[in-house]
Structure 1
Amino acid sequence: MESTTLTSVDSSLLRDRYYFEQIVEYLKAKPFKNIALQLPDSMLNDSVDLYMMFREELPERYFYVLGDTSYGECCVDDVNASHLNNNDLIIHFGKCCLSTASKSHIRPDKEILYVLPKQQDLDFMLVLDDLKEQLQTITTSILIFPDIVIFKEVSDYFMSIEDIQLRDKIIIGTIDTNLFNIIPSLQINKVSVEQSTEENKFQYKVLGRSFDDANIDLKQGQSFVYISYHDIYSMEQDDTSLFSTLMMNVGSSHQIYNYNILSKTLDQVQKGQVNKALMQRYNNIDKINESQVLGILIGTVAVDNYMDIINSVKLSVMKAGKKYYEVLIGKLNEPKLKNFQFIDLYVIIGCPETSLVPFKKFNMTVVTPHELFMAFEEDAFQWESKIITDFNQILPQIKQQQKDLDKIQIELDNHKVDETQLALRFEQLSYKGLEIGTEKTPVLPIQKGLVGIASSYQTEPKKQTENEVEQEKQLVDMKFRKAKIYDGLNDESQKVYDLLNMKCTPLRVKSEDEQQNKTEEELKVGGNQRTNQSNVREAKQ
Structure 2
Amino acid sequence: MSSSETSASAFSSSDTAALERQTETEQPVSFEQIWNENHSKTSVDWIRENSYKRVCLQFPDDYLPHSNAISVDLRKLLAPEEVKVFILADTTYGSCCVDEIAAAHVDADSVIHFGNACRSRASRLPVLYLYPELPLDLDLLLGKLQSLRPDSKERQVCVYLDIGYQHIYKEELKKQLTEALQPKDLLLELFPPIEGSSSPSKEPSSLERICIFIGSDNQRFANLSLTALAAVQWYIYDGACGALSSKNPLTAQFIRRRYFHIEKCKDAQTLGLIVATLSAEGYLDVVARLQTMAKGRGIKTQLISVGRINPAKLANFLEIDCFVLIGCPFNNMYDSKEYYKPIVSVFEAEMALNPAWHMKYPEAYVTDFKQLLPEGRSFLPFDVAGIPENDVSLVSGRLRGALNDSVETAGDPASLALATQAKMALMTTDTGLSFEDRTWQGLDPALGQTEPAPLQQGLSGIPINYTHQ
TM-score (norm 2): 0.70
SS in 1 for 2:201: strand
Equivalent in the alignment of 2:450: none
* Residue 265 of structure 1: how far off its partner (Å): 2.5
TM-aligned CA distance change 1:303 to 1:78, over 3 Å: same
| Pairing partner for 1:142 from 157, 164, 167 | 157
TM-aligned CA distance change 1:353 to 1:292, over 3 Å: same
Equivalent in the alignment of 1:68: 90
| Pairing partner for 2:290 from 295, 313, 326 | 313
* Contact kept? 1:161, 1:167, Cα under 8 Å: no
Equivalent in the alignment of 2:389: none
* Residue 379 of structure 1: how far off its partner (Å): 2.2
SS in 2 for 1:82: helix
* Residue 250 of structure 1: how far off its partner (Å): 4.0
Equivalent in the alignment of 2:117: 96
TM-aligned CA distance change 1:39 to 1:267, over 3 Å: same
SS in 1 for 2:303: strand
- Counting only pairs closer than 5 Å after superposition, residues 12-161 of structure 1 correspond to structure 2 as 16=36, 19-59=39-79, 60-85=82-107, 87-101=108-122, 106-107=123-124, 110-119=125-134, 122-139=135-152, 140-153=155-168, 158-161=173-176
TM-aligned CA distance change 1:13 to 1:414, over 3 Å: closer
| Pairing partner for 2:327 from 346, 350, 360 | 350
Equivalent in the alignment of 2:214: 227
* Contact kept? 1:257, 1:268, Cα under 8 Å: yes
Aligned residues: 371
* Residue 363 of structure 1: how far off its partner (Å): 3.6
Structure possessing the higher radius of gyration over alpha carbons: 1
* Residue 38 of structure 1: how far off its partner (Å): 0.6
TM-aligned CA distance change 1:275 to 1:129, over 3 Å: same
* Residue 134 of structure 1: how far off its partner (Å): 3.2
- In structure 2, distance between residues paired with 1:93 and 1:436: 39
- When the two chains are superposed, the root-mean-square deviation of aligned CA atoms in Å is 3.5
Higher-helix-fraction structure: 1
TM-aligned CA distance change 1:172 to 1:394, over 3 Å: farther
* Contact kept? 1:371, 1:387, Cα under 8 Å: no
- In structure 2, distance between residues paired with 1:436 and 1:265: 55
Equivalent in the alignment of 1:266: 244
| Pairing partner for 2:424 from 417, 432, 435 | 417
Q: Are residue 393 (structure 1) and residue 371 (structure 2) matched? A: yes
* Residue 88 of structure 1: how far off its partner (Å): 1.1
Q: Which has the higher contact order (CA 8 A, sep 6+)?
A: 2
Q: Are residue 211 (structure 1) and residue 217 (structure 2) matched? A: no
- Counting only pairs closer than 5 Å after superposition, residues 455-494 of structure 1 correspond to structure 2 as none
TM-aligned CA distance change 1:12 to 1:402, over 3 Å: closer
TM-aligned CA distance change 1:399 to 1:436, over 3 Å: closer
* Residue 426 of structure 1: how far off its partner (Å): 5.6
Equivalent in the alignment of 2:464: none
Q: Which amino acid in 1 is paired with 2:423?
A: K
Q: Which runs of 5+ in 2 are unaligned?
A: 1-29, 386-419, 445-469
Percent of aligned pairs with the same amino acid = 22
- In structure 2, distance between residues paired with 1:13 and 1:280: 39
TM-score (norm 1): 0.61
- In structure 1, distance between residues paired with 2:201 and 2:311: 38
* Contact kept? 1:142, 1:170, Cα under 8 Å: yes
Deviations 1:65-100 (A, max 9, x none): 112111111111111111012x11000011111112
Structure 1 outlier segments of 4+, above 6 Å: 10-14, 175-178, 435-438
| Pairing partner for 1:245 from 207, 223, 243 | 223
Q: Which runs of 5+ in 1 are unaligned?
A: 1-9, 181-191, 194-208, 236-240, 406-412, 439-541
